[in-house]
Amino acid sequence: MFLQNKGFRYIEAFVIALIVLIGACFGIELFLSQPSIAGIAKGFVPSAEIISNPTMLYIGIGILGATVMPHNLYLHSSIVQTRDYDRTPAGKRQAIKYATWDSSIALFFALFINAAILIIAAAAFHTSGHSEVADIDEAYHLLAPLLGTAAASVLFGVALLASGQNSTLTGTLAGQIVMEGFLNIRMKPWLRRLITRLIAIVPAVIVTALYGEKGTMDLLILSQVILSLQLSFAVVPLVKFTSDRVKMGEFANKAWLKWLSWTIAAVIMVLNAYLLYRTFFG
């Protein structure tokens, strides 16, 4: 609330600082873990096992949700309106250009951070025979002895703390945008933030009390899968709206971008539908 009262640019600067901090921490962790470059390249190539193996599909869908979070699509779309640009075709074209760079860089960092977590886990745990590591606390305590420096655990903890703060901030802002823009619900900022935080925290507290750390980790992964399941409800309207020449005029998606976007949206929907089918009927 303090930063928002100062202006949206201050919030952006704070978020960028958190992202840079997270990226730097995991970058150092990658350097310390010395992963196989060939193994990394091979890992980025999709395999049929992702579809045939229910566990791999579940984790893969969760990674998709954690990387392309649906609420951030609304957030980045709203950020464009805070820019100071000329309301002319040239000014709008420039705003779209900067918005494209903004979204692309944000997605790149999200991909880098999620990929880095997997790569570090494979290089530090799997290759040393600790393939049973399944929670954050165990990973934190094992990183220092496995990578040979206490800084490894500290960097991991700092990255997680910064990531949590970043997710809280962007999630709250996106919730505010959806409440005001789609639902036309307006209330005092402190009350809105209290409600949105309680909606997020209360389920986590209940699960932690009933099932402990294991339940919390399962809930964390499930939340990412749910984000992926919700992704279609944000992507489809976005592609449809930006491809509509009646609404967008000269700024509508070009034919190649339109069909590429619909193809990606279709792949997301099919994978999510298949996961639901395997979960309930498989």
Assess if residue 176 is contained within a domain: yes
Domain that holds residue 162: 2-202
How large is the average pLDDT for residues 29-57? 84
Q: Flag whether pLDDT at 236 surpasses 80.
A: yes
Assess if residue 243 is contained within a domain: no
Other beta carbons within 10 Å of 205: 11
What's the pLDDT at 147?
A: 83
Assess if residue 26 is contained within a domain: yes
Q: What's the chain's average pLDDT?
A: 81
Residue of 114, 112, 119 whose CA lies nearest to 35: 119
What's the pLDDT at 134?
A: 65
Assess if residue 280 is contained within a domain: no
**pLDDT tens-place string over residues 142-188:** 788 888 888 888 988 898 888 888 877 777 777 777 776 666 666 67
Calculate the alpha carbon distances from 134 to 40, 62, 74, 149, 275 in Å: 21, 15, 32, 21, 22
Assess if residue 67 is contained within a domain: yes
How many domains is the chain built from? 1
Answer yes or no: pTM beyond 0.75: yes
Residue spans of alpha helices (H) in the chain: 2-6, 8-33, 37-43, 49-52, 54-67, 70-79, 89-121, 136-147, 151-181, 189-242, 245-248, 255-280
Assess if residue 263 is contained within a domain: no
List Cβ neighbours of 123 (8 Å cut-off, separation of 6 or more): 33, 34, 35, 36
Give the whole-angstrom CA distance, residue 242 versus residue 40.
Answer: 35
Assess if residue 58 is contained within a domain: yes
Give the whole-angstrom CA distance, residue 269 versus residue 65.
Answer: 12
Contact predicate 158/25, CB 8 Å: yes
Assess if residue 41 is contained within a domain: yes
**pLDDT tens-place string over residues 91-129:** 888 888 888 888 888 888 888 888 888 888 888 887 777
